Amino acid sequence: MATSQLIEALQELAHERKIDEFYLIERLEESLASSYQRILDLEWDARVTIDRQSGKIYVYELVPVGEPDEETGEYAEFEERDVTPSDVSRIAAQNAKSVIAAIVRDAGRQSIYEEFSGRVGDLVTGTVLQGTPDFTIIKIRDGVEAELPHYDQKRNPGERNERPANEHYRHNQRLKVLIIEVRDPAGDAPRMRGEQQRPPIVVSRTHPDLIRRLFEIEVPEIYDGLVEVKSIAREPGVRSKVAVASREPNLDPVGACVGPKGSRVRMVVEELRNERVDVIQWSDNPAVYVGNALSPAKVNSVAIDEENHYATVIVSDDQLSLAIGKEGQNARLAARLTGWHIDIKSTSFIGGSLIEEDLLVDEEEEEESEFCAFVSEDGVRCRNHARPGGRYCGIHADMEQE
């Protein structure tokens, strides 16, 4: 390879990969210096310079001058001795291919890190390029790929599994994914297996914040800050619970998230491949919050032990299995959502006696927390809570005047 051709190739690569041309040349000089030191069997370190115009390569041996420092044993001054071999271009050509490939790869990873390191937690849409038993490669945009890992954690305990068990992807399928990590090529973190051959961006389909971002897209009230997502508990691919609260007194947060005829939450469910999503109303009253979190089960009472962060829930016999859920799923998600340890008991188990001060709501609160009275033509009852002092939710408020 002629020296001028080397410069042209570097310029073309720099333009194609959007890497600074001078940075690329500097990295090549550093790499070639190490190669020439080994090839020429130099006693001292080598320095390589490449003429930016002609591409001519010069090799210098850095010969120390004077005496070394008494404490460090290092030399402060060096004399450059020209040791450029006659076949310098041939030696450079032999090493340039692998060196340039490594430099371009590292520089590209560094460029991606600088662009995306501040976007951890963002929702992006990508296209599936290829899949392996351990991970799926997703194209975010031209020149930028991400990895969605789904390693068998028994065989690879240090790896991630960010794919719900019910999901499998096909080529060119479009996916919404959450950025959870951008690997720093210059960082000190332990290297993952085969990291240099894997995309630096790691994305997830199991992270709870994926649901948060999807609701921000579908619910304008969340995006505008009128409704806040307080907490999310998720078993990916199966079921999730989302606690929401309103910053506006007359705005029903659950109704806003569910949308007219369930249109908004339906879009989230479809993106999650039919994962069930329960939207419940957050409350600063722990008893009310725990009771809401166990929805769709109806709770008779909740006793709160604040010292031990323990909640004892009483439900009627016919609601017990619904409150616990299949294999304890409903109770488990409710505990994770609220942060309280929840113990569920039936009225028959406690002898049918209820302690008056432990009632979840009194008569006035119960009236306020009733569900909307709207019933569709198909006979389906609206699941939103009624507005305070009314019989209908915010969506069906106009029914009050009829």
Condensed to tens digits (0 to 9), the pLDDT of residues 131-157 reads 988 899 999 988 899 999 999 888 888
CB 323 within 8 A of CB 315: yes
Task: State mean pLDDT over 328-339.
Answer: 94
CB 75 within 8 A of CB 66: yes
Per the DSSP assignment, residues forming a β-bridge with 241 are 233, 278
Percent of the chain scoring above 90 in pLDDT: 45
Residue 193: is its pLDDT beyond 90? no
Residue 166: is its pLDDT beyond 70? yes
> What is the band of 357 on the pLDDT scale with cuts at 50, 70, 90?
very low
CB 127 within 8 A of CB 169: no
Q: Tokens standing for 211?
A: 């649901």
Task: State mean pLDDT over 102-122.
Answer: 85
More confident residue, 300 or 193: 300
Residue-level pLDDT at 182: 92
List of residues 6+ apart from 199 with CB closer than 8 A: 137, 145, 146, 147
3-state SS, 75-116, equals CCEEEEEECCCCCHHHHHHHHHHHHHHHHHHHHHHHHHHHHH
List of residues 6+ apart from 112 with CB closer than 8 A: 144, 182, 200, 201
Mean pLDDT of the chain: 83
Closest CA to 77 of 89, 90, 85, 66: 66
Closest CA to 256 of 270, 236, 242: 242
Per the DSSP assignment, residues forming a β-bridge with 47 are 60
How many angstroms separate the CA atoms of 205 and 128, rounded? 13
Task: State mean pLDDT over 383-402.
Answer: 68
CB 126 within 8 A of CB 175: yes
More confident residue, 186 or 317: 317
Closest CA to 300 of 317, 284, 278, 279: 317
Among the residue ranges 70-74, 293-297, 310-314, the one predicted with the least confidence is 70-74
3-state helix, strand, coil split of the chain in percent (to 5) is 35, 25, 40
Phi, psi of 371 (to 5 degrees): -80, 160
User: What is Dmax (Cα atoms) for the chain?
Assistant: 100
More confident residue, 4 or 301: 301
Task: State mean pLDDT over 182-205.
Answer: 76
Q: Tokens standing for 338?
A: 């609220």
Q: At what angle do helices 88-116 and 21-39 cross, to 10 degrees?
A: 140
> pLDDT digits over 222-275, tens only?
999 999 999 999 999 999 999 999 998 889 999 999 999 899 999 999 999 999
Residue-level pLDDT at 155: 86
CB 160 within 8 A of CB 178: no
Residue-level pLDDT at 40: 83
How many angstroms separate the CA atoms of 360 and 73, rounded? 77
CA 349 to centroid of chain Cα atoms: 43
Residue 125: is its pLDDT beyond 90? yes
Residue 366: is its pLDDT beyond 50? no
Q: Tokens standing for 52?
A: 């930016």
How many angstroms separate the CA atoms of 146 and 24, rounded? 24
> pLDDT digits over 34-75, tens only?
888 888 888 888 998 988 877 788 889 998 888 888 788 788
CB 48 within 8 A of CB 36: yes
Residue-level pLDDT at 359: 44
Residue-level pLDDT at 156: 83
Residue-level pLDDT at 106: 78
| Range 28-48 burial, b when 16+ CB lie within 10 A, else e | beebbbebbbeeeebebebbb
Task: State mean pLDDT over 109-120.
Answer: 88
How many angstroms separate the CA atoms of 161 and 237, rounded? 13
Element (H, E) at 277: strand 276-281
CA 224 to centroid of chain Cα atoms: 22
Residue-level pLDDT at 222: 95
Domains and CATH numbers, the chain: 3-108 (3.30.1480.10), 120-204 (2.40.50.140), 207-282 (3.30.300.20)
Residue 364: is its pLDDT beyond 50? no
The most confident of the ranges 14-23, 79-88, 213-222 is 213-222
